[in-house]
Amino acid sequence: MIAALVILGIAELCLVTNNDIAKYKHLADEYRQLSNQSLSESATQTRQGVRKDIWFLQEDASRLHYRIESESSLLTLDPAGGKFDIVENLSNIRCWMQEKLYDSGPSFMQQLRYLQAEEGIYRFRQQEFIASSVALSLFRLPGHELVTPTSTRDAFLKGNAENISFSVSGKTPQFQAHKFTASLRQEDTP
């Protein structure tokens, strides 16, 4: 008798009825509708104290380090052709970019680019950063670790660019400054 009840219980759990199939199809249709609806809407997030660290491995096995800091940002997730495009609008930006690591006799050195801008955009899918009205400075500093100067007093080159962009593709980042005007610091003479 107990065996018959167990068999009936298992049969009830395992058999799929027409009613079960109809309920499944209805739930699957609702899920598809919700998925399509959410894929067509943008989502945003406001962030404070944003910091991005990006490293590039060079062919000589050295690693260049870029750092982007922003006081605040608006992160937007936009559906684009079945994929998502993530764009971050940054404000009050400071960016440090190691251009080159090298040896200078017995010590290690780095050439560093520092830039400041009121606003810029970072596109995640394209790995691209764009900013306008940029103050740009170049430094030669000791060491291979990223240094983050905020004073441009010791820069060997200072200037302004109407806009800049850099993209990360392959092993070499591509940097461009448009309508760039600069001045070189005069070396101190004894």
Which of 1-15, 130-144, 176-190 is predicted most confidently? 130-144
**75 and 26 in a common domain:** no
Look at residue 182 and tell me whether its pLDDT is greater than 50.
yes
What pLDDT score does 75 carry? 93
Q: State the pLDDT at residue 13.
A: 66
Do residues 94 and 36 both lie within one domain? no
Same domain, residue pair 30 and 104? no
Q: Which domain holds residue 7?
A: 1-41
Long-range contacts of 183-188 (CB under 8 A, 24+ apart): 183/157, 183/158, 183/159, 184/156, 184/157, 185/155, 185/156, 185/157, 185/158
Q: Are residues 133 and 174 in the same domain?
A: yes
Whether 189 is in a domain gets the answer no
Asked if residue 47 and residue 37 are part of one domain, the reply reads: no
Checking if the pLDDT of 102 tops 80, the result is yes
Of 74-78, 80-84, 117-121, 177-181, give the lowest mean pLDDT range.
80-84
Give the model's pLDDT for residue 190.
43
Domain identity same for 9 and 54: no
Instruction: Domain count for the chain, please give it.
Output: 2
Closest by CA position to 97, among listed 124, 61, 121, 129? 129
Q: Is residue 190 part of a domain?
A: no
**pLDDT score for 188:** 52
Q: In the predicted model, what is the mean pLDDT of residues 137-162?
A: 92
